[in-house]
Amino acid sequence: MATTATVTNLASASLFFMCTWLVAIVGAHLRPTGYNFLQNAVSDFGSHPASRPFAWAQWLSMSTAAALQTAAGFLLLNANPELSGLSALAKAKSGLTALGVFAGARFAIIFFPNLVRENPPPGQERTDFRVFLTIVHLLLAVVAFASLPAASIQIAEGVQAAGPLAGLPVYQQSDVLLGLGWTTLGGLVFMVATIWLRRFDGPKVFGLGERVYYVTMALWLFAFGALLSQS
């Protein structure tokens, strides 16, 4: 079927962009920025001249991968009339919508870098415009970080319920997909906990928390892309 081929091609393209993301994020960490990986946020790489291209590339590639998976998922569900009217279909589509929101927020954040620093170097002093960009950046980050766990769990639960009825290949590994979905939620909770630790004069390890969450996000996106490519 043409639809199946399109889904496979979109999913395969998403895996290419996830591999691009992996190269970009590693490249950003290898640049001579002087950042502390335990403390500095990943977004800090977007404001440093040495790492800025890599940071922009990782945002763009991950958002593109998520957008391609969203499109592939909707195509796959709509190509199966057996699912029409099922609550499981509504749950899966809700999850795919959340994945699309994640993709949009990750893309938009490229244009709103985090430019406010506690001890800014010369030439990067706090201004109203920099504060505005940073506020929008933080809002987009909240949207992106909150939407992926919701997307990953809802998609996996929808596939578990609807997959056997439509013979969806992704059903065979839906337990893995759901487990990774709950892992993203755990990663988000851990990251938020590192923010509260800082507020209560605990260790400054937000950078570690965010990177743990990044790993859980990437694992789920790689897994979902791989399963969709088998459809």
Chain segment 116-138, per-residue pLDDT in tens: 766 555 566 667 888 899 999 99
Determine the average pLDDT of the residues in 29-42: 88
Helix/strand/coil (H/E/C) assignment for every residue in 89-151: HHHHHHHHHHHHHHHHHHHHHHHCCCCCCCCCCCCCCCCHHHHHHHHHHHHHHHHHHHHHHHH
pLDDT at 35: 87
The domain locations on the chain are 2-229
Overall residue count recorded for the chain in this entry:
231
What percentage of the chain carries pLDDT values higher than 90?
52
Is 172's pLDDT higher than 80?
no
The C-alpha atoms of residue 38 and residue 176 are separated, in whole angstroms, by 29
The type of residue at 153 is I
CB–CB of 102/66 below 8 Å?
yes
The C-alpha atoms of residue 155 and residue 95 are separated, in whole angstroms, by 5
